[in-house]
Amino acid sequence: MLSDLKKAMWVSLMIIIVSGLLALFSASFQNSRVTQEVFYNQLVFSILGVVAIFFLGRVDHRRYYDLAYIAYGINVFLLVAIFLFGYYALGAKRWIEIFGFNFQPSEFMKLSLILALARYYTDHKPKVSFYNPWSRPAIVSDFFIPFAMTAAPAILIFKQPDLGTAILLVGIFFVMAFAAGVSTKHLGGFLGVCLLAMPILWHMMKPYQKDRLLVFLNPNVDPLGAGYTIIQSKIAIGSGQIFGKGWLSGTQNQLNFLPERHTDFIFSVIGEEWGFVGSVIVVVCFYLLILSGLRAVEQTKEKFSHLAGAGIVAIFALQVIINIGMVLGLCPIVGITLPFVSYGRSSFLVCILMFGFLLSLARQRKMF
Amino acid sequence: MRLKSFKVIITFSFIILIVGLGYTQIFQGEYYQQLSVSNCIRVVPVHSNRGRILDRNGIALADTLAAFDVLVIPQELQDRDELFSFLGSVLGFGQGRIDAIYQRKRTASFAPVVIAEDVPREKAIILEENKFRFPGLLVQVRSRRHYPFGEAGAHVLGYVAKMSQERIERLKEYGYTIDGVMGYSGIEEQYDQMLRGVNGGLQIEVNNRGQQVRVLGMKVAHPGEDVMTTLDARIQQIAQTLMREQRGVIIVMNLDDGAILGMVSAPSFDPNDFASEAASNNRVRYFTDTRAPLFNRAIRGQYPPGSVFKIPVAIAGLYTKKINPHTTFVCHGSYTLGNRAFRCSHTHGAQDFTQGLGHSCNVYFFNTGLIIGPKLMEEYARLFGLGVFTKIDLPYEERGHVPHPDGFRARRWSKGDTLNFSIGQGDLLVTPIQIVNMIATVARDGRQIQPYIAQSIGAHAQPQGQVARVIHLPKNILDQVKEGLRAAVAGEGGTARAVFMKDLLVLGKTGTAQSSGNQEHHAWFVGYCPSAKTRIAFCVFLEYGGSSYNACRVSAQLLKEMKALEIL
Please tell me the predicted confidence (pLDDT) of residue B121.
86
Q: What is the dihedral of CA B446, B447, B453, B459, to 10 degrees?
A: -170
Q: Count CA within 13 A, CB hemisphere, residue B55.
A: 20
The mean pLDDT value for B1-18 works out to 89
Please tell me the predicted confidence (pLDDT) of residue A222.
46
B524: DSSP letter: E
Instruction: Report in angstroms the alpha-carbon separations of B446 from A47, A362, B313, B317.
Output: 103, 116, 15, 16
Q: How distant is the Cα of A81 from the closest Cα of chain B, in angstroms?
A: 35
Please tell me the predicted confidence (pLDDT) of residue B5.
87
CA angle B445, B446, B450 (to 5 degrees): 115
DSSP output for B326-392 = T--EEE-SEEEETTEEEE-SS--EEE-HHHHHHTT-HHHHHHHHHHH-HHHHHHHHHHTTTTS----
CA-based nearest residue in chain A for residue B11: A287
For the domain B65-146, what is the CATH code?
3.90.1310.10
Binary contact (A294, B6; C-beta < 8 A): yes
| pTM for this entry | 0.66
Mutate to test the interface with A, among B1, B4, B5, B6 (most CBs of A within 10 A): B6
On the question of a common fold for B65-146 and B233-564, the answer reads no
Please tell me the predicted confidence (pLDDT) of residue B219.
80
Instruction: Report in angstroms the alpha-carbon separations of B473 from A271, B214, B470.
Output: 90, 73, 9
At residue B298 the predicted structure's pLDDT band, cuts being 50, 70 and 90, is: very high
Please tell me the predicted confidence (pLDDT) of residue B180.
72
State in Å, rounded, how far the first CA of chain B is from the last one.
116
Name the residue among B7, B35, B206 with its Cβ closest to that of A294.
Answer: B7
How big is chain B by its Cα radius of gyration, in Å? 33
Distance CA(B406)–CA(B193), nearest Å, equals: 44
ipTM above threshold 0.85: yes
Distance CA(B35)–CA(B20), nearest Å, equals: 19
Per CB-CB distance under 8 Å, the chain B contacts of A283 are 14, 17-18, 21
Instruction: Count H helices and E strands in chain B, helices first.
Output: 20, 23
Contact B319, B309 (CB under 8 A): no
B203 interfacial to chain A (CB closer than 8 Å): no
B40 interfacial to chain A (CB closer than 8 Å): yes
Q: What stretch of H or E contains B509?
A: strand B507-513
Binary contact (B21, A242; C-beta < 8 A): no
Contact B205, A255 (CB under 8 A): yes
B100 interfacial to chain A (CB closer than 8 Å): no
Q: Where are the domains of chain B?
A: 2-40, 65-146, 233-564
- Residues from A contacting B (CB-CB < 8 Å) are 178-179, 181, 232, 234-242, 251-252, 255-257, 271-272, 275-276, 279-280, 283, 286-287, 290-291, 294, 297-298, 310, 313-314, 317, 321, 324-325, 328, 330
CA-based nearest residue in chain B for residue A291: B7
Among candidates B118, B157, B110, B155, which has minimal Cα distance to B136?
A: B110
B516 interfacial to chain A (CB closer than 8 Å): no
DSSP-based three-state secondary structure for A147: helix
What is the identity of the amino acid at B494?
G
How big is chain A by its Cα radius of gyration, in Å? 21
DSSP output for A72-84 = HHHHHHHHHHHHH
Per CB-CB distance under 8 Å, the chain B contacts of A287 are 10-11, 14
Cβ within 8 Å of residue A58, ≥6 positions away: A360, A363
Most confident of B62-76, B133-147, B197-211, B380-394: B380-394
Please tell me the predicted confidence (pLDDT) of residue A131.
53
Q: Where are the domains of chain A?
A: 2-367
What average pLDDT does chain B have? 89
Binary contact (B7, A328; C-beta < 8 A): no
Among candidates B470, B236, B523, which has minimal Cα distance to B360?
A: B523
Angle between helices A163-180 and A303-327 (to 10 degrees): 140
Please tell me the predicted confidence (pLDDT) of residue A223.
42
Is the model more confident about B394 or about B2?
B394
pLDDT digits (tens, 9 = 90+) for B78-108: 888 888 888 888 888 878 888 888 888 887 7
B212 interfacial to chain A (CB closer than 8 Å): no
Please tell me the predicted confidence (pLDDT) of residue B391.
93
Please tell me the predicted confidence (pLDDT) of residue B9.
92
Among candidates B280, B67, B45, B39, which has minimal Cα distance to B178?
A: B45
Please tell me the predicted confidence (pLDDT) of residue A224.
46
DSSP-based three-state secondary structure for B72: strand
Mutate to test the interface with A, among B36, B206, B207, B212 (most CBs of A within 10 A): B36
* Cα B386 off chain centre by: 21
Per CB-CB distance under 8 Å, the chain B contacts of A236 are 36
Interface contacts (A, B; CB < 8 Å): 122
Sheet holding B507-513, edge to edge: B260-266, B248-254, B536-542, B522-529, B507-513
Q: What is the dihedral of CA A88, A91, A92, A96, to 10 degrees?
A: -20
Contact A341, A286 (CB under 8 A): no
Please tell me the predicted confidence (pLDDT) of residue B490.
92
Query: B233-564 belongs to which homologous superfamily?
Result: DD-peptidase/beta-lactamase superfamily (3.40.710.10)
Instruction: Report in angstroms the alpha-carbon separations of B9 from A317, A323, B22.
Output: 10, 16, 20
Contact B426, B416 (CB under 8 A): no
Contact B424, B400 (CB under 8 A): no
A143: DSSP letter: I
> Which residues partner with B46 through β-bridges?
B200
Binary contact (A313, B6; C-beta < 8 A): yes
B17 interfacial to chain A (CB closer than 8 Å): yes
CA-based nearest residue in chain B for residue A292: B7
Is the model more confident about B508 or about B408?
B508
DSSP output for A230-280 = HHHHHHHHHHTTTT-S-TT--HHHHTT-STTTTTTTHHHHHHHHHHHHHHH
Instruction: Report in angstroms the alpha-carbon separations of B459 from A268, B58, B194, B227, B479.
Output: 58, 13, 12, 9, 41
Kindly give the pairing relationship between strand B53-54 and strand B227-229: parallel
CA-based nearest residue in chain A for residue B21: A276
Binary contact (A239, B36; C-beta < 8 A): yes
Among candidates B229, B328, B9, which has minimal Cα distance to A320?
A: B9
Binary contact (B36, A179; C-beta < 8 A): no
Backbone φ, ψ for residue B468 (5° rounding): -75, -35
Angle between helices A2-28 and A345-364 (to 10 degrees): 170
Among candidates A359, A361, A365, A363, which has minimal Cα distance to A50?
A: A359
pLDDT > 50? residue B290: yes
Instruction: Give 10-residue mean pLDDT values along chain A (368 residues).
Output: 78 93 90 82 90 87 88 91 71 64 83 94 74 63 88 86 83 90 80 79 65 57 58 89 89 81 90 95 95 90 90 93 90 83 89 91 61
Please tell me the predicted confidence (pLDDT) of residue B450.
95
Q: How distant is the Cα of B35 from the closest Cα of chain A, in angstroms?
A: 7
DSSP-based three-state secondary structure for B138: strand
B427: DSSP letter: T
Distance CA(B419)–CA(A258), nearest Å, equals: 88
Distance CA(A139)–CA(A127), nearest Å, equals: 9
Name the residue among B6, B31, B40 with its Cβ closest to that of A238.
Answer: B31
CA-based nearest residue in chain B for residue A182: B2
Q: How distant is the Cα of B129 from the closest Cα of chain A, in angstroms?
A: 27
pLDDT digits (tens, 9 = 90+) for B206-260: 777 666 777 777 788 888 899 999 999 999 999 999 998 889 999 999 999 999 9
Among candidates A345, A183, A152, which has minimal Cα distance to A262?
A: A345
**CA atoms B495, B499, B502, B505: torsion sign:** negative
Per CB-CB distance under 8 Å, the chain B contacts of A235 are 32, 35-36, 39
Distance CA(B496)–CA(B493), nearest Å, equals: 9
Please tell me the predicted confidence (pLDDT) of residue B45.
73
CA-based nearest residue in chain B for residue A232: B36
pLDDT > 70? residue B132: yes
Please tell me the predicted confidence (pLDDT) of residue B175.
66
Q: How distant is the Cα of A291 from the closest Cα of chain B, in angstroms?
A: 7
Q: How distant is the Cα of B167 from the closest Cα of chain A, in angstroms?
A: 36
Per CB-CB distance under 8 Å, the chain A contacts of B20 are 324-325, 328, 330
Per CB-CB distance under 8 Å, the chain B contacts of A260 are none
Q: What stretch of H or E contains B540?
A: strand B536-542
Distance CA(B391)–CA(A257), nearest Å, equals: 59
Mutate to test the interface with A, among B11, B25, B38 (most CBs of A within 10 A): B25
Distance CA(B426)–CA(B406), nearest Å, equals: 15
